[in-house]
Chains A and B, each alone.
Chain A
Amino acid sequence: MRVSKLAVIAVASVIAVYIRAIFFTPADVLQGVVQKILYVHAPSAWVAFLAFGLVAITSALYLWLRDPKLDYIAASSAEVGLVFTSVVLVTGPLWAKPVWGAYWTWDARLTFTLVLWFVYVGYLILRDALDDRDMRARYSAVLGIIGAALVPFIHLSVYMFRTMHPMPVLLKPSAPSMPPVMTVTLVSSFVAFTLLYAWLLRERYQLELEREAVAQREMTRSVNAESLA
């Protein structure tokens, strides 16, 4: 099995982050050890949005340039993004039960993540329901663009309810409201997950290219068989 450099770096950095998070980062005074789920939850959410941003960009570029590779990248990114969104949706409730007292609340961010998850499940189901390669690429590109245009409205509308989700501790105008030792762990978890995403995206994209090559070969073979018959 071929192991790429990126794979080694990504997996190693994820392991390093969790060694640091588990053994060398103190737990929160009030929340206890369950707070450490933040180092999975927050970077997964970051990657989820990053992945969906890439889907939107490659969708728009596809409709403009019509390069099938852009479609493969969009499809790969949507699939990897969906995995990370699922991680967000699983780790969130695990943290929320001891801290909030309930697995699920209809808080703005939770609702938004759930709806986003459904948007991209729909995206993948749409792709699966189309056999023609061109049509699949065009349709999913259109859905990707509509998603990019309308997802902000979903975000706005769910925020019209009050939110109880912890506010960002890192990316905000004032200084990070975390002890430096936690901040370092959190930042490095973002970096590690971004690398993990890059690796998974590339693997998934390679798979798409190979599938396409197989389909091409099958087609050539059947055409040849027909012309021989």
Chain B
Amino acid sequence: MPHNISAPPPEQYALSRPTYTPPGVLRSALIIARKDIQVELRTRSTIFSALTFAVLALAISFFAWDPTAVGPTDLAPGVLWVIFTFSGLLSLHRSFGGEQPTRAADALIAAPIEQEGVFLGKALANLVFIAAIQIVTVPAAALLYNVSMGPIALPLAAIVLAAAIGLVAVGTLFSAMAVTTRLAELLLPLLALPFFVPIVICAAQATSKLLAGRPAADVNGYLRLLVTFDIVAVVVCTLTYPSLIEQ
């Protein structure tokens, strides 16, 4: 019995062809973020070194001041936020640096997704990493510096999150810039640290106010500035990122 192997009529063929719709910006951001987190969970290279660095730096910093002259409550906020910035930089570099040796960066450019999505996904993954580092570092600071952070946990968490979003937005963009330059990872702190000044000032001042027992309403001004910084930084960095990678 002869098989009917003739092709379907053209109009039917056209309908049966699978159509591909690329994911939207937010959807592709989630895909990229999941990829980065998955890679990190498998290699566990960045998070552990950044964590070790953070706790090590906490320990070292304690000996940089005279404990009889400066009380741990006065010392903790400054130390915490300086370490936050530097451990953040440490993990931010991996964000795009990890894509370079395997040329995976080219695949990200060629992928049929919006580049804004790539940026947001990278930033989201970095936010997860930095939050994970903070979840360990802040209690470690409370423990090592013998400061009670329990009662201020909620406002402190809000400040940590607000500071982390700004740091991640600016840092992710500069990380994308730095890896393709001749200076590579050396350039990231040079570019990023001046822009971290508002984050460190607001977060450290707010933390020391909270630790001094002032009411949470006293730090509203700092929190507002941080949140405004976050909004502007996320919007500007997301919109300018595609200009970096176009060919």
Contacts and interface: CB of A to CB of B under 8 A. Distances in A.
B221 interface: yes
B182 A150 contact: no
Most B C-beta atoms less than 10 A away, residue of A135, A157, A160: A157
A62 to B, nearest CB: 9
B182 A129 contact: yes
B187 interface: yes
Contacts of B241: 142
A115 B244 contact: no
A141 B187 contact: no
A164 B145 CA distance: 33
Interface string A151-168: 001101110110000000
A63 interface: yes
Interface residues of B, number: 32
B232 A138 contact: no
Nearest to B232: A149
B55 interface: no
Interface in B82-120: none
> Chain A: interface secondary structure?
helix
Interface stretch (B15-23, B35-43, B127-135, B193-201): B193-201
A149 B194 contact: no
Contacts, number: 90
A178 B214 CA distance: 42
Contacts of B233: 149-150
A102 B246 CA distance: 49
Contact of A150 (B193, B201, B232, B246): B232
B194 A154 contact: yes
Interface in B186-237: 187, 190-191, 193-195, 197-198, 201-202, 205, 221-222, 225, 228-229, 232-233, 236-237
Interface stretch (B71-79, B148-156, B173-181): B173-181
B191 A142 contact: no
Contact of B194 (A115, A135, A145): A115
A138 B225 contact: no
Most A C-beta atoms less than 10 A away, residue of B182, B202, B240, B241: B240
B4 interface: no
A107 to B, nearest CB: 13
A95 B104 CA distance: 54
A149 B240 CA distance: 12
Given A126-B181, A149-B232, A142 B197 contact: no
Contact of B240 (A131, A135, A145): A145
B68 interface: no
Nearest to A147: B195
A160 B221 contact: yes
Interface string A124-152: 01100111000100110111011001100
A165 B40 CA distance: 48
Contact of B173 (A111, A118, A146): A146
B187 A160 contact: no
A63 B180 contact: no
Contact of B181 (A63, A116, A129, A154): A129
Contacts of A131: 182
30 contacts: A116-B194, A119-B195, A121-B190, A122-B191, A122-B194, A126-B187, A126-B191, A129-B183, A130-B180, A135-B180, A138-B246, A139-B181, A142-B240, A142-B244, A146-B173, A150-B198, A150-B233, A150-B236, A153-B198, A153-B228, A153-B232, A154-B195, A154-B197, A156-B225, A157-B202, A158-B197, A160-B202, A160-B205, A160-B222, A161-B201
Given A116-B194, A126-B177, A153-B198, 4 more contacts: A122-B187, A125-B187, A125-B190, A153-B229
Interface of A: 63, 111, 115-116, 118-119, 121-122, 125-126, 129-131, 135, 138-139, 141-143, 145-146, 149-150, 153-154, 156-158, 160-161
Q: Which 4 A-B pairs have the closest CB atoms?
A: A157-B198, A129-B181, A153-B198, A157-B201
